[in-house]
Amino acid sequence: MVISREPFVSIIIPFKEDSSKIRECVRECKKLNYINYEIILLPDASIEEKEFFRCKIIPTGVVTPAAKRNIGIKNARGEICAFSDADAYPDRDWLKNAILYLNNDSIAILGGPNLTPPDNNLLQKIIGDVLGSRVGMWNVSIRYSIRKAQNTDLLQSCNMIIPKRTFSELGHGWDETLITGEDAKLCYEVRELGKKLRYVPDVINYHHRRNTLLSYLKQIWGYARDQAFVLKERRKIDRPLIFVPSLFVLWFAFGPFLFMLPAIDFYMQLLYIITASLYLIVIALGCILRNIKRAPLMFILIISTHISYGLGFLRGFLFGKPCSTKRTKTCH
């Protein structure tokens, strides 16, 4: 199926209630260098329409973000659905650039980087540094930085451009039972159809980072937990690196006991010292190369991120389904 040269696009934004962030998102959407689109807003309850002129507002009740997106799809007039979060906003060429890639039928989902807005505070910028660094997030870092165009395993729901034909081929929309990780599950299902997920560097969204350390680490923990559940549900391991943070947590948590037990071989103790040292050295070098001024804080945050992700993944993998159709505070 060939996409028309200037297809009608439905921008779909799930959120809880009116806020300065959703107003910023809508304001920037209205500045897009593209004419043929609509904005569908999906709050819990009715909001003041005059603040969102020319937007389609559909109150959904208290449901998961995935359920809101499905409601948006059902009410969308466009042949393409462009998904954003309420605490994100698009680059002016977001849609104009995206359309150029969608005439390839093998591309089922298109996405690009979600970058840290320039007006974010120091902590938020350091979080952005961590997310966008290879030593911080390895191959996942592509979602938070500008890299060369490439096929990828996963894209994020805060910056996804999806032709409606993709949902038709799947036979369903987003998994409404998941609070986070629903984007990962959708990506897995699309890949199992033999379709491609394409990352391109010029389809940019700016995504506000969490503004406290605790909220950021809770976000990482919850994301890892639901990633693990989705992986467990699929019963298929095609991304073995996803286990590394959890193995790291177990190794470094139980490693000190190697020195307390006389029966443990000296070489096991030496292995622990070498791996711990190499890990810290690689993290330190990565931080310095990324941003030498922010390297000390970035160093601490990367280690905290790995621990939080590792623990969250263990929780999801060992203890089953973490959530239900009831939404929690993780919904924007």
The verdict on residue 282 lying in a domain is yes
Average of pLDDT values for 120-133?
96
Give pLDDT, residue 331.
Answer: 35
The verdict on residue 143 lying in a domain is yes
The verdict on residue 21 lying in a domain is yes
Residue 276 phi, psi dihedral angles, 5° rounding: -65, -45
**Residues 24, 30: Cα–Cα separation, whole Å:** 10
Give pLDDT, residue 107.
Answer: 94
pLDDT digits (tens, 9 = 90+) for 307-324: 999 999 889 888 866 554
The verdict on residue 218 lying in a domain is yes
209: containing domain: 9-327
* H-type alpha helices, 47-157: 65-74, 94-99, 122-132, 134-137
What is the pTM assigned to this prediction? 0.88
pLDDT digits (tens, 9 = 90+) for 160-200: 999 999 999 999 999 998 888 899 999 999 999 999 999 99
Coil, strand or helix: which one is 57? strand
**Residues 174, 156: Cα–Cα separation, whole Å:** 13
pLDDT digits (tens, 9 = 90+) for 250-306: 888 887 777 777 766 777 888 888 998 999 999 999 999 999 999 999 999 999 999
The verdict on residue 332 lying in a domain is no
The verdict on residue 301 lying in a domain is yes
Number of structural domains (the chain) is 1
CB contact set of 330 (below 8 Å; sequence gap of 6+): 179, 180, 219, 222
Q: What is the CATH number of the domain that holds 145?
A: 3.90.550.10
**Strand pairing of 56-57 and 80-84?**
unpaired
pLDDT digits (tens, 9 = 90+) for 58-87: 999 999 999 999 999 999 999 999 999 999
The structure tokens 């109150």 sit at 59
The verdict on residue 185 lying in a domain is yes
Give pLDDT, residue 320.
Answer: 64
The verdict on residue 4 lying in a domain is no
